[in-house]
Amino acid sequence: MDLSRYGPWAFIAGGSEGVGASFARKLAAHGVNIVIAARKPDPIHALAAELRSAFGVEVRELPLNFCAVGMLEQVKAATQDIEIGMLICNAGAENSLSPFLERKPGRAEMMIALNVTAPTQLSYLFGAGMRERGRGGIIIVGSNSCHAGAPRQVVYSAAKAYQFNFAEGLWVELKPHNVHVLGLILGLTNTPNLARSGFRPDAAAGLVMSEPDDVAQQGLDHLGREPIHCIGGWTERWQQLRGLPRDEAMAMIGQGVRSKS
């Protein structure tokens, strides 16, 4: 697998830990230079030092609040002199499980900024260059919550549905230009955000929890293939969702949410 064929640099939104960090390590192992964009400087710096030492690649560190006004201008300034051949949209936040009307003010807006606005703007910014060059790859990291409205995850599941459809439409538009688009649908994945959300490990009894390295590898392996969506971890329960009537899918997701809380 020659990941450098997409271009010399990858931009990873939410790249300092979890699935994003796994993508960074795997791409760097193939000689791809990395831009790590995430909110906290310390994890970015630690991962950047690791990648430089282990793989000898160039790394640019971009501490960034994806919800802030002017976010895109910061990204442009940090990348204007390099060719971004791969975009990984993985920025997210802990998804505490609570009813919509009991959420803290501003929480819904933050979720929309991270899961809708940021991937849209970044894909527009970098997708134009990919189309012009006739090569590139975009991976939108989503969730199995995209298949139906999820109680206690109302805004999150709606935003993930946007990502699902956005990836599909973008794939159709960019395929003739040799730009590959993938929607990577995650099930239960062992990430720091999952821990911060208040998820109890004992609630995972009977469920398959995927590891970040495994789902990142699956995403890279699947990029450029059809269908354009793949389920990270391939858990049978979540594979059933898309084929179910929506009321049954909502009931299944609701049951899963209750088991986590």
pLDDT truncated to tens, each residue of the chain (261 aa)? 789 899 999 999 999 989 999 999 999 999 999 999 999 999 999 999 999 999 999 999 999 999 999 999 999 999 999 999 999 999 876 566 777 788 788 888 998 999 999 999 999 999 999 999 999 999 999 887 776 666 667 888 899 999 999 999 999 999 999 999 999 988 666 666 555 555 555 555 556 666 888 899 999 999 998 877 877 654 444 445 555 555 555 455 455 444 444
Q: Domain boundaries in the chain?
A: 3-260
CA distances (Å), 252 to each of 33, 119, 232, in order? 41, 28, 18
* CA pair distance 141, 224, nearest whole angstrom: 15
Torsional sign, CA 88, 194, 208, 245 = negative
Record the pTM: 0.84
pLDDT at res. 130? 99
Q: How many residues does the chain have?
A: 261
CA distances (Å), 20 to each of 30, 69, 76, 196, in order? 16, 23, 20, 16
Count Cβ neighbours within 10 Å for each residue of 194-225 and write b for 16 or more, e otherwise.
Answer: beebebeeeeeeeeeebebebbbbbbbebbbe
CATH of span 3-260: 3.40.50.720
